[in-house]
Copies of this chain bind each other. A is one copy, B any other.
Amino acid sequence: MPKISTRSGNMPSSPIRKLVPFADKAKKEGTKVYHLNIGQPDIETPQVVFDKMNAMDLKVIEYSHSAGFESYREGLSKYYSEYNVNVNKEQILVTTGGSEALYMAMMSCFNPGDEVIIPEPFYANYNGMAIAAGVTVVPVTATIDNNYALPPISEIEKKVTDKTKAIIICNPGNPTGYLYSEEEIKELKKIIVDHDLYLIADEVYREFCYDAKPFSVMNLEGVDNNVVIIDSVSKRYSMCGARIGAFVTKNKELYDVALKFAQARLSPPTFGQIASEAALETPKSYFDEVSAEYVKRRDILVEGLNSIEGVTCPKPNGAFYAMAQLPIDDSDKFCQWILESYSYEGQTVMMAPATGFYSTPGLGKKEVRLAYVLNEADLRKAVEVLRNALGEYQKQMITQADSALA
């Protein structure tokens, strides 16, 4: 039997999806599972999208341009200008989700063996993408004590070597929900200028900033050739399944090579582009309602979690995730245990162990990521399940410790 590739062996399992078999088993046994593990919102996709899809009048579902529909790219250009990001259609490459935009960036910017600095905890799939591209992730650790703010610039600069090619950030952040300030982004500018690095910013949660306006890396001056935005419609319009994203850069050489990788996969999905172009007409009221809903959910979750003894949950400013530190020994063990061996009034909770969001081994063992993508009532119940589960788990930990001592 031929061998699989070495990089396959290095690919991590998704921390968000790896517990699925345990959740499936719990459901089969009749337990209700609250899914706080995954960023799949229950928010409805805008009606303008369904109106368009239901009225589609095509004869052939054709390939599009490899860079995406010209009309859609023009629409995106207008959309970005509302965020003071001025890019034209020749600087926007429509991709198959934000994931592919990141893949394009990895393939176009990096050689195998290159290093990229990423503040951790970070979106777990960055690891998988880096392994696929043969790139080494160099983490710089953000801490819960400091609300997961950008680590001090001196700490970041210490990580720069002659192999460093880029800094990757997610803003607002998944999994932390932290929104970098204008000052923090400008600090990063100094490093990329001094060391001639790319700054790749995953800004897919742009619409989900609750206490301040987002400052895009494209708002930085004088670094047009260094900056790339990774974008996606998944969260913006609650249509993760459309698989439409964008790779945005003013660096023409970089855009042109990314387009070659785009040609190698022919074109982004046509249906998804039709839906995404229709979604550009989403009324402002939709976003206002969604934002109000997430603020409410965030507050319920964060207050609920902090009311549990031994739990710390900083209040996130953006996205729809919260990281919480729990009084546990091992988040992987705990997240499996709560699905496999625990239920409270016939209910349990699925969370993402934070270990998968850190690159430094051993970190995240006391933290979990919770996505507040459920309605108010379910969130409250999920918090109660977690409160009771933690009590029970700690009892078992103490019993085990006693037996070990006996």
Point out residues on A near B: beta carbons under 8 Å.
1-2, 4-9, 11-14, 17, 38, 40-45, 49-50, 53-56, 58-64, 66, 96-97, 99-100, 103, 107-112, 114, 125, 128-129, 132, 134, 165-166, 196-198, 225-226, 238-243, 251, 253-254, 257, 260-261, 263-272, 275
A197 contacts across to B, CB distance below 8 A:
2
Q: Is the Cβ of A241 less than 8 Å from the Cβ of B45?
A: no
- On whether A55 and B54 interact (CB within 8 A), knowing A61-B49, A107-B7, the answer reads yes
- The 8 Å CB contact of A125, one of B8, B114, B238, B266, is B266
A257 contacts across to B, CB distance below 8 A:
4-5, 8-9, 11
- On whether A108 and B2 interact (CB within 8 A), knowing A42-B60, A242-B270, the answer reads no
Q: Is the Cβ of A241 less than 8 Å from the Cβ of B265?
A: no
* Beyond A100-B265, A112-B134, 4 additional pairs, beta carbon < 8 A: A53-B56, A103-B265, A134-B134, A242-B271
A9 contacts across to B, CB distance below 8 A:
257
Closest-CB distance, A26 to chain B (whole angstroms) = 18
Q: Is the Cβ of B264 less than 8 Å from the Cβ of A99?
A: yes
Interface of A is mostly: loop
A6 contacts across to B, CB distance below 8 A:
111
The copy count of this chain in the complex is 2
A40 contacts across to B, CB distance below 8 A:
62-63
Per the bound structure, the CA–CA distance linking A251 and B272 in Å amounts to 32
A61 contacts across to B, CB distance below 8 A:
45, 49, 238-242, 275
Q: Is the Cβ of B266 less than 8 Å from the Cβ of A269?
A: no
* 7 closest residue pairs by CB, A with B: A241-B270, A128-B264, A271-B271, A8-B257, A61-B239, A11-B260, A99-B265
- On whether A243 and B267 interact (CB within 8 A), knowing A197-B2, A253-B4, the answer reads yes
Q: Is the Cβ of B7 less than 8 Å from the Cβ of A264?
A: no
* Residue contacts A-B, CB under 8 angstroms, 10 given: A2-B198, A4-B253, A5-B114, A11-B260, A14-B264, A17-B66, A53-B53, A62-B240, A62-B241, A99-B266
A12 contacts across to B, CB distance below 8 A:
260
Per the bound structure, the CA–CA distance linking A2 and B331 in Å amounts to 39
Q: Is the Cβ of A60 less than 8 Å from the Cβ of B239?
A: yes
Per the bound structure, the CA–CA distance linking A60 and B49 in Å amounts to 10
A270 contacts across to B, CB distance below 8 A:
241-243
Q: Is the Cβ of A4 less than 8 Å from the Cβ of B272?
A: no
- On whether A45 and B59 interact (CB within 8 A), knowing A53-B53, A125-B266, A196-B2, the answer reads yes
Closest-CB distance, A49 to chain B (whole angstroms) = 7
Q: Is the Cβ of A60 less than 8 Å from the Cβ of B238?
A: yes
Q: Is the Cβ of B63 less than 8 Å from the Cβ of A45?
A: no
Closest residue on chain B to residue A226 by CB atoms: B2
Closest-CB distance, A323 to chain B (whole angstroms) = 21
Closest residue on chain B to residue A273 by CB atoms: B241
- The 8 Å CB contact of A268, one of B43, B50, B243, is B243
A109 contacts across to B, CB distance below 8 A:
2, 4-5
A103 contacts across to B, CB distance below 8 A:
265
Closest residue on chain B to residue A197 by CB atoms: B2
Per the bound structure, the CA–CA distance linking A381 and B7 in Å amounts to 51
- On whether A251 and B1 interact (CB within 8 A), knowing A17-B263, A266-B240, the answer reads yes
Closest-CB distance, A293 to chain B (whole angstroms) = 14
